[in-house]
Amino acid sequence: MNYKYREHEYAELIYNNGFQSKYIPTELRLLVLHFRDVLEMKPKEREYSLYKFCNKYIPDFKKENYFKSINTALRAGLNKEQKLVTIPKIDIYQSELDYINSLEINQEYKKVMFTFLVQLKLNKTVFEYKRNKDYEMLYFYGGKIKYNNIKRMSNIPKTMSLNDEVINTLSGLGLVIILHRGKISLNYIKNCIPEGEVVFEVTDFENVGLYLDYYNGIKGIIKCGGCDKILKAKNNKQLYCEECAKKIEKDNWVERKRRQRNKEDVTK
């Protein structure tokens, strides 16, 4: 999820440093698109560069073992609808928040509905960017992995069942319709009309539910004082996320050392 909607950045990372995960076929596809769209390589050059890259970064690389994955990646480079996708933010409107918050359901259910809304906006952005036509679907469908992603993004308790508890309850209220094979119709989206003021932007697609928690003033959910990341505080005194806290601590250490050196110079 870290790079799911930052493919330009991820492809460049792969290009400069080698494979970043065990999902080599996916990374090969991103690399081919980077060759095509960023480095402007022609098909033959892309093929040569891809084999050269694999030979460099895959221990004991043998062409016959990766031939299928490499060919699939190279074919992606011939498809104009295959594009690197970068989505820096998703706008959230006051009218959307007002509708979700008007429902007489608990906060965890609202977070799931909010996450489905954000995921639908992400799907719409990707689809329209790649295919240059409108995305009209109000459905969510997929297997266990996709539903687990929604649960993780929603930041609901691990003990809460997304399907048996949340979605079944929303279905009973007529907010969603359960169809078949993991497909649900997100009926409530028709009432989430994106108009008026943009209240905030979702930029962390791994922790979507925390944005609604923060907006609704849920205790313990804070905005980092350094980078504006929304997070769950570990204690009442926490002001920064872990990354910013480390940077501030390092900067303070450097500043203390500088003052100490200046003081020693003065005494001399």
pLDDT at 179: 95
62-91 pLDDT per residue, tens? 999 999 999 999 999 999 999 999 999 999
Q: Which two tokens stand for residue 118?
A: 């954000």
Q: What is the mean pLDDT of the chain?
A: 94
Position 207 confidence tier, pLDDT thresholds 50, 70, 90 = very high
Summarize the confidence of residues 170-189 as an average pLDDT. 95
Segment among 59-63, 95-99, 103-107, 250-254 with least mean pLDDT: 250-254
Q: What is the pTM of this model?
A: 0.87
pLDDT at 205: 94
149 has pLDDT over 60: yes
Distance (Å, whole) CA 179 – CA 177: 6
SS3 77: coil
Q: For residue 116, which of 86, 149, 85 has the smallest C-alpha distance?
A: 149
pLDDT at 253: 86
Q: Which two tokens stand for residue 221?
A: 């959910």
139 has pLDDT over 90: yes
**224 or 260: whose pLDDT is higher?**
224
159: amino acid identity, one letter: T
2 has pLDDT over 70: no
**At 258, which helix (H) or strand (E)?**
helix 242-267
1 has pLDDT over 70: no
Position 268 confidence tier, pLDDT thresholds 50, 70, 90 = low
